[in-house]
Amino acid sequence: MTKTLLGKLDPKCVRSLDIPRPPEGLIEGFKALGDATGIVSDVMDHLNIVGVLPGSLLRPTIAGATIVGPALTVRNTVLPGHPNDNARAHINGMAEIEAHNIAEQGDVLVIEGVPGVSNMGGISAQVGKRQGEIGAIVSGGVRDVAHSRRVGFPVWSSELSPVTGKWRIETIEVNGPVHIHGIRVNPGDIIVADDTGVCFVPRERAAEILELSRKRAAMEDARCDALDRGVPIRDLPSAS
């Protein structure tokens, strides 16, 4: 499929119309871990990789939602000018629609956003859902939570705000590196998110992290099985 821009953003601000795709089986492997962020976080600790944020900071809008997919990134900043003047002049700097337009099935929208205002709303969530995105991670505010819940599009955000970003936000880059509360996220990095938090898995280390996560999950399953069988605590398989 040929991808094109919609003209909402200077073409120079779009790093690429494509993002690196994960190798076959990688996404399915992370999904098979189930409630995975704890296991993945432990593995990233052992590998000295910083890339995990708690659910208390990035709160999910849909309880029980779990997503795994490659990052499709958007970077926002504050739009110059007073919001009232921008509104009267119809100066709308938001352009996450360009990311929606180039999304592929299974992508996760990751927005480095502006605090205090909404960086995406319900219609944007519905567009993302239709384009095949499975959810969004937003540093900053989002709104229309009931709408995004209704269409089954989970969002992990640091804030909720009804204040529109339309006259307050300028999108300055799509498909480039972003920073989510100090963590660098590149297009194509693997996002693993659930009720507990969000793991940003560097794509170049993803296969290694998955392999070690599988081993750790098997070890934890063995401990749980031993507990169910009544094995004394002193005899449980090692947790290290």
Question: What is the distance between the alpha carbons of residues 51 and 133, in angstroms, rounded to a whole number?
Answer: 21
Residue 144 annotated as part of some ligand binding site: yes
Distance separating the N- and C-terminal Cα atoms of the chain? 47
Residue 75 annotated as part of some ligand binding site: no
Residue reference for tokens 């120079």: 12
- List all residues 6 or more positions away from 21 whose beta carbon is below 8 Å from its beta carbon: 70, 104, 188
Which residues line the annotated binding site for substrate? Answer: 143
Residue list for the binding site: 143-144
Summarize the annotated binding site for Mg(2+) as residue ranges: 144
